[in-house]
Structure 1
Amino acid sequence: MYVRSFQLSDYVPATELLGTVLSDDCYEQTMLAFGRQLSWDSDLVLVAVEQDDIVGMIIGTIDNNKGYYYRVAVLPEYQRQGFGQSLIQGLKQRFEQRNVSKILITADEHNEKVLPLYEKLGYVATDFFRSFQKLSIVAG
């Protein structure tokens, strides 16, 4: 398993992954944010690869010098095997390289089930950014 930057050739498998993992409502919101983030800064979209297959991805953004984890998704058969942690840590490195002032986790209704993963990695409730705004509005 390794984590790398998103490449254009990853688009179809990445969107299929999101369609498999996310609810319909979450998928629609995420696809809008995903497209905008790719147009702004594709280096903040990472994929986890296992045997040449994309099995996970994370979408982040930077706004006002703050880094935001927006959405992390891992195929069900690869969950609880460290893929999500590796994606989060990989994006954290990107944020640190860019000297963001703070890293926050977008905590919307769709991310509630992965918040314990962030807590396991040392994030606390004050790191959770709860907003009804979508990434496409926050980072615009």
Structure 2
Amino acid sequence: MNVRSFQLSDYRLLTALLADVLTEECYEQTMEAFARQLSWDSELVLVALYESEVVGVIIGTIDNNTGYYYRVAVHADHQRQGIGKALIESLRLRFQQRQVKKILITADEHNEAVLPLYESLGYVSKDFFRSFQQLSIIAG
């Protein structure tokens, strides 16, 4: 498995992955945030590849020296194999390279199921940004 920055050639496969993994409402919100993040800083959108297939994605953003994990998604056939953890760790390293002061996890109604994944990596409830604002509002 390889984690790298999003490339335009990933777009079709990535949107198909998100459509498969996310609910319709979550997909619509995520696609809006994804488009905005690509226009701001595509280096904070990472994809996981397995044998050249896009199997995971993480979308992050930075606002006022705070890094936010916005959405992580892994294809159902590849879950529980460490891909989500690898994506989170790779984005954490990007945040460190950018010298963010604090990292928060967006804990909206769509992310509740993955909060234990973050906890397994050492994040605690004070690291969860419980807001129903969309990424465009957070980083806008």
TM norm. shorter chain > 0.5: yes
SS at match of 2:122: coil
TM-score of the two chains, using structure 2 as the length reference:
0.99
Per-residue deviation, 1:38: 0.2
**Could you tell me how far apart the structure 1 residues matched to 2:120 and 2:133 are?**
26
Q: Shift in Å at residue 73 of structure 1?
A: 0.2
User: Any runs of at least 4 consecutive aligned residues in structure 1 with deviations exceeding 4 A, and if so which?
Assistant: none
Structure 2: any 5+ residue segments left out of the alignment? none
- Cα shift readout 1:58-77 (whole Å, capped 9, x = no counterpart): 00000011000000000001
Percent of aligned pairs with the same residue? 71
Offset at residue 132 of structure 1 (A): 1.6
The residue that corresponds to 2:20 in the other structure is 20
1 CA distance for matches of 2:133 and 2:98? 24
Distance in 1 (alpha carbons) for counterparts of 2:107 and 2:139: 15
| Structure 2 CA distance for aligned equivalents of residues 85 and 29 of structure 1 | 23
Look up the SS of the partner of 2:9 in the other structure.
helix
Alignment of 1:88-127 (within 5 A): 88-127=88-127
User: Secondary structure of 1:61's match?
Assistant: strand
TM-fit CA distance, 1:5: 0.4
Q: Secondary structure at the match of 2:70?
A: strand
| Structure 1, unpaired ranges of 5+ | none
